[in-house]
Amino acid sequence: MKGFMDFIREQGVVGLATGFILGGAVSKVVTSLVTDIINPILGVILGATGGLSTAVISLGSVDIMLGSFIGVLIDFLVIALVVYYGVKGLGLDKIDKKKK
């Protein structure tokens, strides 16, 4: 059992599992925050009347969905920040043993 516990701690499995669980747990909340609050505010700032998701760049007959991409990027950044500060705040980053 000691060998198994050393493997878990040395390989960073706890940190990986924590990130996975926290990322999944906060995903819907963060998506709602970005979709319902941040995107409409950015849409007003950028002049997209229907919110950020309607912001497009037209190149000839092609519409590049810039607003949709920016929304997904913001969603990812907020999730990454929440997981990072959640792990730091709970002290879970100290669980994994450093290799010598």
Q: Which of 17-26, 52-61, 90-99 has the lowest mean pLDDT?
A: 90-99
Question: What does the pLDDT read at residue 32?
Answer: 81
CATH H-level superfamily of 2-94: Large-conductance mechanosensitive channel, MscL; domain 1 (1.10.1200.120)
Residues 6+ apart with CB under 8 A from 76: none
Burial 25-54 (b: 16+ CB within 10 A, else e): ebeeebeebbbeebbeebbeeeebeebbbe
Question: What does the pLDDT read at residue 95?
Answer: 65
Say if residue 24's pLDDT is above 80: no
pLDDT tens-digit profile of 31-68? 788 778 877 787 777 776 666 777 778 888 888 888 78
Domain ranges within the chain, ordered by starting residue: 2-94
